C-alpha cells in the first residue's frame, strides 16, 4: 500500500522495524557511550569555536577537551635516566667535544674575552720562560763574587752598573734603575736579565663573559648529545663516578663495562687525567745564603757592623730612595727573586756607605 509520499508502506515499515531492532540489540552501556562521545564532540566543537573567536590556537587552550588517546605516546619520558650503552656514550662524547669546541673558539675570537685569553696565554708562556731562567740564574749567582775577585775588569763593570742603578734610584727613575740592576746581574749569566712578567689584569666583567660562553657551550653540548640538561648532567656524573671507582648502585655491570672500556678517552674529555709528575729537581750546587755577603764584599765598608755617623747621615739624606728600594726588595723577596733581592740590597748598601770609606 503506497504512502502519501509515494514510497511503498512495506519499505517504510521494514526500515522502522530495523531501527527498533538495532536499538533493542544495542547494550545500554554502548548507548551511553555514544551519547557521551556526542556530548564530548559537542564540547570540543564549542571550545574550538570560542578559541577561534579570540584568535588563540585551540591546540594550546588550557583545559580544552581532547579526544582520548588510543595508544601510549611513543618515545622515552623526558628526563629519565639513560642506560649507558655504547651508543649513549657516543652521544655523551659528542656533547663534550661540542662544548670544548665552543670554548676554544671563544678564546680565539676578536672580542674582549678572546683578547684577554690571548694575553693570558702569552703571560703564561713568559712566566714559564722566566721560571726556567730564574732557576739558571740562581745557580749562577753564587759564583759571581768569586769571578769578580779574580777579574778586576768584571768587578769594575759590575760596580759601574750598580752605581748607575743607584743614581737612577736617587732620581726615582725606577725603570732605569731596574735596567741597570738587571744588566749587572746579567754578568753572572744572561738568564739573570729575564724579568718576571707583570701580573695580568682581569677585566671587571670577565665572569659575566665567561658565564655567557659557558651557557653557549652547554647548549651546543646538549644539541650534539641529543639530551636534556638533566640527562646530560646525570649521565656525565655517573660516568665520572664509574671512572673514579665509585659507581652508583643502580648502574648495571654492562654499563660499567661500557664506560671502563673507554676510560682513557672519557677521562681526557672530562678532565680526569692526572698531569704527568714533574721531573725531579736537580740538587742545588751550593746554598745561596752566603752569596749576598760575597757579592757585596767589594763595596761593603770595613770595620764595625754598626753604622757610622757618615752612614747614618746618608740614610737620613736618602730616606725616600732607600724606602723605595726597600719596597722593591720586599716584592722581589715575596716573588722568590733572590738575584734581584741581592742586587737591590747592594744598591742600598752603596747609598748607605757612599763617601764613608774615605772618612774612616
pLDDT band at 200 (very low <50, low <70, confident <90, very high): confident
130 has a pLDDT exceeding 80 = yes
Between 316 and 155, residue with greater pLDDT = 155
Please compute, for residue 158, the number of CA atoms within 13 A of its CA located in the half-sphere on the CB side. Answer: 25
CB 136 within 8 A of CB 194: no
Q: What is the pLDDT of residue 279?
A: 53
Buried b / exposed e over 188-224, threshold 16 CB at 10 Å, is bbebbbbebeeeeeeeeeeeebeeebeeebbebbbeb
Q: What is the pTM of this model?
A: 0.50
Are 179 and 198 spatial neighbours (Cβ–Cβ below 8 Å)? Answer: no
Residue 112 grid cell: 674582549
Where in the chain are the domains?
82-271, 302-355
1-15, 121-135, 252-266: lowest mean pLDDT where?
A: 1-15
**Residue 263 CA: distances (Å) to CA of 93, 246, 250, 258, 267:** 12, 14, 20, 9, 6
d(CA 135, CA 191): 9
In sequence order, the β-bridge partners of residue 69 are none
Name the H helices within the chain: 9-25, 28-54, 86-108, 112-140, 144-150, 152-170, 174-185, 206-225, 229-243, 253-260, 263-269, 291-296, 309-317, 319-334, 338-353, 356-359
Q: Is 7 helix (H, G, I), strand (E, B) or coil?
A: coil
Supply the pLDDT for residue 297.
37
- pLDDT (0 to 100) of residue 201: 86
Question: Has residue 30 got a pLDDT over 50?
Answer: no
Q: Supply the mean pLDDT for the chain.
A: 73
pLDDT at 284: 43
Q: What is the Cα Rg of the chain in Å?
A: 43
**Tens digits of residue pLDDT in 264-310:** 999 998 888 766 555 554 444 444 433 333 333 333 333 334 456 66
Model pLDDT for residues 206-239, shown as the tens digit of each residue: 999 999 999 999 999 999 999 999 999 999 999 9
The pLDDT value recorded for residue 312 is 64
Are 229 and 223 a contacting pair, CB within 8 Å? Answer: no
**Alpha-carbon distance 319 to 312, whole Å?**
10
> Residue 64 — pLDDT band, cuts 50, 70, 90?
very low
Amino acid at each position: 500500500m503506497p504512502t502519501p509520499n509515494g514510497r511503498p508502506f512495506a519499505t517504510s515499515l521494514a526500515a522502522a522495524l530495523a531501527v527498533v531492532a538495532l536499538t533493542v540489540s544495542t547494550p545500554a552501556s554502548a548507548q551511553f557511550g555514544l551519547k557521551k562521545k556526542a556530548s564530548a564532540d559537542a564540547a570540543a566543537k564549542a571550545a574550538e569555536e570560542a578559541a577561534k573567536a579570540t584568535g588563540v590556537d585551540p591546540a594550546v587552550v588550557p583545559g580544552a577537551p581532547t579526544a582520548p588517546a588510543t595508544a601510549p605516546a611513543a618515545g622515552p619520558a623526558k628526563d629519565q635516566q639513560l642506560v649507558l650503552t655504547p651508543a649513549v656514550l657516543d652521544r655523551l662524547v659528542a656533547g663534550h667535544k661540542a662544548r670544548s669546541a665552543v670554548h676554544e673558539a671563544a678564546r680565539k675570537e676578536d672580542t674582549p674575552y678572546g683578547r684577554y685569553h690571548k694575553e693570558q696565554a702569552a703571560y703564561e708562556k713568559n712566566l714559564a720562560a722566566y721560571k726556567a731562567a730564574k732557576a739558571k740564574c740562581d745557580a749562577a749567582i753564587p759564583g759571581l763574587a768569586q769571578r769578580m775577585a779574580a777579574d778586576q775588569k768584571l768587578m769594575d763593570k759590575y760596580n759601574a752598573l750598580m752605581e748607575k742603578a743607584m743614581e737612577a734610584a736617587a732620581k726615582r727613575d725606577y725603570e732605569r734603575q731596574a735596567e741597570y740592576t738587571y744588566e749587572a746581574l746579567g754578568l753572572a749569566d744572561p738568564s739573570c736579565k729575564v724579568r718576571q712578567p707583570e701580573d695580568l689584569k682581569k677585566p671587571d666583567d670577565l665572569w659575566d663573559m665567561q658565564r655567557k660562553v659557558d651557557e653557549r657551550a652547554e647548549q651546543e653540548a646538549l644539541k650534539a648529545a641529543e639530551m636534556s640538561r638533566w640527562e646530560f648532567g646525570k649521565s656525565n656524573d655517573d660516568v665520572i663516578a664509574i671512572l673514579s671507582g665509585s659507581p652508583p648502585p643502580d648502574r648495571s655491570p654492562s654499563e660499567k663495562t661500557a664506560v671502563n672500556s673507554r676510560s682513557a678517552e672519557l677521562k681526557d674529555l672530562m678532565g680526569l687525567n692526572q698531569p704527568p709528575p714533574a721531573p725531579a729537581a736537580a740538587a742545588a750546587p751550593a746554598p745561596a745564603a752566603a752569596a749576598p755577603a760575597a757579592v757585596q764584599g767589594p763595596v761593603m765598608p770595613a770595620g764595625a757592623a754598626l753604622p757610622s755617623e757618615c752612614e747614618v747621615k746618608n740614610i737620613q739624606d736618602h730616606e725616600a730612595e732607600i724606602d723605595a728600594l726597600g719596597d722593591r726588595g720586599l716584592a722581589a723577596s715575596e716573588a722568590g727573586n733572590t738575584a734581584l733581592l741581592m742586587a737591590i740590597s747592594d744598591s742600598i748598601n752603596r747609598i748607605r756607605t757612599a763617601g764613608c770609606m774615605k772618612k774612616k
